[in-house]
Copies of this chain bind each other. A is one copy, B any other.
């Protein structure tokens, strides 16, 4: 491409409004000196917000979108009536080749529907997935699918493994990420037909990944593998169960520390450390969902993201575009299909 890497941004998507988006962009331009932005949303409001920041203003194009998608709008409604929303314009801008990646903090279901409708799915991949970055004892692990689908066949789980491996390669810089399939036990004979079939295909493949086999729920936070593959039903429930558990433990901690004068005093002295812990567990500090498998890079920031969270989502999108993640996904998927065809022919 001859133009600078360009990020298409839904400036009206999050709960906090466009002010947070502009604060995030001020962080992004400090890290990336050569990136441009197209902002979609209320032109008057956006112009006013960026007018004060000359460095940002020179790198932004504002496109007016008269409407916005709310958190309550159903995906089907947005597909029928959402063409004038900032979300639709944000994705359409990537489709038209005017931007390389899209970032929105809007309604996840609507964003996936609008992205699939406008960008389509990578050839050879049957369904897109939503990936998330999970904090672990060892660092970070990619988990997918966390909610794009309510089930997955063995072939779809293999697609998710290919996409997760490409993502871990690009984001974590790993040559051969370790990949595990989430299951109810680590032994080969455990689980349902989908996970057993997918494990069989991955065990015999020559992809640039180290296939670990099955992992269990507690292996996610242990960091046993770099990529955890699961269907969107199980993955979404695991993710939300983990969020709920972290909040429960935080609440137990506060209760314990309030119980006696000594423990209150201890908490006061250790308040710096406890604030660090709170920030580490704050979902706003984590990335939202990364949409994989589409003809275009789309990153969903948390609806409640602050400037730090939104800037982190933009960073992820830029890294994915720079590394051309979709080229890797396409190549890996073709390799697996060719291997499967070869194996079938060998059986004749």
A interface list, Cβ under 8 A from B: 135-137, 147, 150-151, 182-184, 190-192, 216-222, 230, 232-234, 236-253, 256-257, 259-260, 262-263, 265-274, 276-277, 280-281
The chain B residue with its CB closest to the CB of A261 is B269
Separation of A222 and B240 alpha carbons in the complex (Å): 11
Given A270-B266, A272-B260, verify A253-B241 contact (CB < 8 Å): no
**Per a CB cutoff under 8 Å, which of B217, B247, B268 touches A243?**
B217
The chain B residue with its CB closest to the CB of A269 is B266
**Per a CB cutoff under 8 Å, which of B135, B220, B237, B265 touches A217?**
B237
Separation of A277 and B248 alpha carbons in the complex (Å): 11
Which 9 pairs show the lowest CB-CB distances between chains A and B? A266-B270, A217-B240, A266-B269, A218-B244, A263-B273, A221-B244, A217-B241, A256-B273, A221-B248
**Per a CB cutoff under 8 Å, which of B218, B240, B276 touches A240?**
B218
Given A238-B241, A274-B256, verify A191-B233 contact (CB < 8 Å): yes
- Is A241 touching B244 in the complex (CB atoms < 8 A)? no
Separation of A251 and B135 alpha carbons in the complex (Å): 12
The chain B residue with its CB closest to the CB of A217 is B240
Separation of A162 and B137 alpha carbons in the complex (Å): 39
Least Cβ–Cβ distance between A161 and chain B, in angstroms: 17
**Per a CB cutoff under 8 Å, which of B191, B238, B271 touches A150?**
B191
The chain B residue with its CB closest to the CB of A219 is B244
Separation of A270 and B151 alpha carbons in the complex (Å): 46
Separation of A147 and B217 alpha carbons in the complex (Å): 12
**Per a CB cutoff under 8 Å, which of B245, B257, B277 touches A256?**
B277
- Is B269 touching A252 in the complex (CB atoms < 8 A)? no
Separation of A234 and B243 alpha carbons in the complex (Å): 16
Least Cβ–Cβ distance between A314 and chain B, in angstroms: 26
The chain B residue with its CB closest to the CB of A258 is B273
Least Cβ–Cβ distance between A154 and chain B, in angstroms: 14
Contacts of A244 in B (CB 8 A): 217-222, 242
